[in-house]
Amino acid sequence: MIYLDHAATTRPESAVIEAMIPFLSENYMNPSAFYQPAVRTRMQVESARRNIAGFINAPYDSIIFTSGGTESDNWAIRMGAKICEDKGRHIITTKIEHPAVLNTVRYMEEQGYEVTYLDVDATGRIDLESLKSAIRQDTVLISIMHANNEIGTIQPIKEIGKIAHEQGILFHTDAVQTFGHLKIDVDEFGIDLLSASAHKLYGPKGIGLLYIRDRKKFAKLLFGGSQELGLRPGTENVADIMGFAKAVEIADKIMDSDIEAQNALRDELKSSILKEIPGAVINENEDNHLPGTLNVTFEGVSAETILIRLDMNGICASAGSACSAGALEPSHVLTAIGKSTDEASRTIRFSIGRENTKDDIVKTVKVLKTLFA
């Protein structure tokens, strides 16, 4: 198998699984219990939290473990807006956010909030002047993703954070595609709330985090005991937390070489596609893209046909369209960058990861060529 769908999920590293196993077997104690083995587990959970916090230059008690990116996005937006209700009910986001953000802000509209959806250019970047003009007296929250999951475009996050802070507006970023892949410093970038998910960085599924700059002012997600600083109670998912921490430890060590290797493979895939496949168009921001993500619109062959041909040859990739209720809807991201429904239906996302090799790229292009001969 050649797996080129790392933006969807990644294979947990063996060291991650090894770090988890003891907590699924002999170290099964509830970290809130009183006896020694449980206290040791508590210390390990808190040490994992400390290490993960350090990775994004955040204080240890600003990291709350959640079930993943979707939960963190929901929480950040719903509670972030709620704590500023006195100031107003206006939220700014973009047209290319993940559904975890878009469907949450739509829910907020139903609750009486107004939402501005910023346009992006043909490369998927927002315009900072448009962001400034969208800000109103009653704007309480800006939620803009760090990098897009379909086209890989990275937003000018530091500048957005600066604008938000100058205006006293909370800034949330969905960093699910960048956490563990790019350097993030919540202070340097002016981030107040950040969502991340372990399964995108070779960790387990069903565990993520929300970074909360000022947790004293933040609203609880759930009501219950005192776990997760009382903000998200419930017995901790200890094994997954340990796996998440191990994945972060590995990412921290090899991030630079990962970036270099994936950029090289992406360049190879891009240039081979452009050379070998007539009419192929790359959808990207050349200077600001994720190291491994390459989004391509092909000429004359549907994404479905391409994916089937790739699949028949053991190659996993994704379409730029989401299949809903049996109909192929054009991707909102591709529509926002100006692609027609027809172009969107011929678009494929390849996302390269840690275990891919040059040979994978060569084989993939070889299979693609058979469709365009």
Q: Please report which residue ranges of the chain form alpha helices under DSSP H.
A: 14-20, 36-55, 69-82, 99-110, 128-134, 157-166, 238-276, 303-312, 332-336, 341-344, 358-371
Smallest distance, ligand PLP to C-beta of residue 100, A: 4
Which range, of 68-76, 163-171, 294-302, 351-359, touches ligand PLP by CB under 6 A? 68-76
Q: What is the 3-state secondary structure (H, E, C) of 77-128?
A: HHHHHHCCCCCCCEEEEECCCCHHHHHHHHHHHHCCCEEEEECCCCCCCCCH
DSSP label at residue 198: G
Euclidean distance between CA atoms 113 and 184, whole angstroms: 30
Q: Which is nearer to ligand PLP, 194 or 310 (CB)?
A: 194
* Candidate ranges 19-27, 67-75, 249-257, 343-351; the one touching ligand PLP (CB under 6 A): 67-75
SS3 (DSSP) at 317? coil
Residue of 13, 174, 258, 360 that binds ligand PLP (CB under 6 A): 174
Identify the CA nearest to 119 among candidates 139, 87, 141, 144. Answer: 144
Instruction: Using the rule CB under 6 A, give the single segment among 103-111, 171-179, 240-248, 333-341 that binds ligand PLP.
Output: 171-179
Contact flags string 13-52 toward ligand PLP, x per CB under 6 A: ----------------------------------------
Indicate if 323 belongs to the active site. yes
Nearest residue (CB) to ligand PLP, 174 versus 360? 174
Instruction: Output 149 or 227, the one with its CB closest to ligand PLP.
Output: 149
3-state secondary structure of 332: helix
**Of 149 and 237, which CB lies nearer to ligand PLP in the complex structure?**
149
Candidates 27-35, 63-71, 106-114, 265-273: pick the segment binding ligand PLP (CB under 6 A).
63-71
Binding-site member from 6, 98, 213, 339 for ligand PLP (CB under 6 A): 98
Answer for which of 16, 100, 303, 337 binds ligand PLP (CB under 6 A) is 100
The answer to whether 149 contacts ligand PLP (rule: CB under 6 A) is yes
Catalytic residue among 323, 340, 366, 369, which?
A: 323
Residues in the chain: 373
Of 44, 74, 116, 177, which one interacts with ligand PLP (CB under 6 A)? 177
Q: How far is CA 127 from CA 124, 131, 188, in A?
A: 10, 6, 20
- Name the amino acid, one letter, at 24: L
Q: Residue 171 is inside which H or E element, if any? A: strand 170-174
Please work out the total of residues on this chain that contact ligand PLP, with binding judged by CB under 6 A: 13
Q: What's the rounded Cα separation, in Å, for the pair 179 and 73?
A: 14
290: helix, strand or coil: coil
Does 280 help bind ligand PLP (rule: CB under 6 A)?
A: no
Q: Which residues are catalytic?
A: 323
